[in-house]
Amino acid sequence: MQKESLKQQLQNLSSQISAMHLDHLERKWITISLLVIGFFVGIMTIDAFFHGINPPGKVETVDSASLHLSKEFAEENLGVQVDDQGNITVRMVAGRYSFFPKHISVPAETRLTFRWVSMDVLHGVHIPMTNMSTMIVPGYVAEITTTFPKPGEYPMLCNEYCGLGHNHMWSNISVIAKENWTTPAKLVSKGGPSHE
């Protein structure tokens, strides 16, 4: 019953629209606007389903004020860690005006999970010549999984204005050939990243 009336309402609406007088120019611009909208929705659909570009599936929060007391982002846990399944996680803290640790070295051609948190204001992280770029919003964990195809020295730059020292906020990543990379001494025995 309800469904039937909704259908009728829609039919009425569409007949009203088709009966509406539209100027030729108006019709033309409506068509152009719809095409533009369709074009962008199309790009988003292709990106989402074929290129895997999606908004973060999970939102992880963290207390920015007590990072040093947190299990995961305490100073001794920062940097590159390998768990017992061989997964590599890089944990870094962004703060005015650096990423800590200031320098990391990771293997090329290996899947890496980066996890960043901010200890003060909004920062961003961008690694030139890669597709890696994200915001680091205080209170949230920014996570990106990536692979560096080639060894080399990469800068890690802040790309969100965060204060007077913004221009000087960067760290270095040394990407080392897979066979020459040595596992850091610190080994996380836990199966995965710990959460507060």
Stretch that binds ligand CUA, among 48-56, 57-65, 140-148, 156-164 (CB under 6 A): 156-164
Shortest reach from residue 44's CB to ligand CUA, in Å:
28
By the rule CB under 6 A, 93 interacts with ligand CUA: no
E strand or H helix that includes residue 174: strand 170-176
Residue 140, both tokens: 């949230």
By the rule CB under 6 A, 137 interacts with ligand CUA: no
- Using CA atoms, how far residue 150 sits from 106, 126, 174, in Å, is 11, 17, 11
Q: What is the Cα–Cα distance from 141 to 83, expressed in whole angstroms?
A: 19
Stretch that binds ligand CUA, among 46-54, 68-76, 159-167, 185-193 (CB under 6 A): 159-167
Q: Give the residue ranges of DSSP H helices in 23-169.
A: 24-50
By the rule CB under 6 A, 166 interacts with ligand CUA: yes
Mark 60-89 with x for binding to ligand CUA (rule: CB under 6 A) and - for no binding.
Answer: ------------------------------
Question: Which of residues 88 and 156 has its CB atom nearest to ligand CUA in the complex?
Answer: 156
Please give the backbone phi and psi of residue 53, each rounded to the nearest 5 degrees, phi first.
-90, 115
Of 123, 141, 154, 156, the residue at the interface with ligand CUA (CB under 6 A) is: 123
Of 80, 88, 142, 162, the residue at the interface with ligand CUA (CB under 6 A) is: 162
CA dihedral 16, 22, 27, 31 (to 10 degrees): -10
By the rule CB under 6 A, 125 interacts with ligand CUA: no
Q: Give the residue ranges of DSSP H helices in the chain.
A: 2-19, 24-50
Q: What is the Cα–Cα distance from 174 to 105, expressed in whole angstroms?
A: 5
Question: Which of residues 133 and 194 has its CB atom nearest to ligand CUA in the complex?
Answer: 133
Helix (H, G, I), strand (E, B) or coil at 157: strand
Question: Which of residues 88 and 91 has its CB atom nearest to ligand CUA in the complex?
Answer: 91
Please give the backbone phi and psi of residue 148, each rounded to the nearest 5 degrees, phi first.
-90, 120
For ligand CUA (CB under 6 A), the number of binding residues is 7
Burial of 138 (0-12, 13-18, 19+ CB in 10 A): middle
Of 92, 108, 158, 173, the residue at the interface with ligand CUA (CB under 6 A) is: 158
Could you list the residues that contact ligand CUA (CB under 6 A)? 123, 158, 160-162, 166, 169
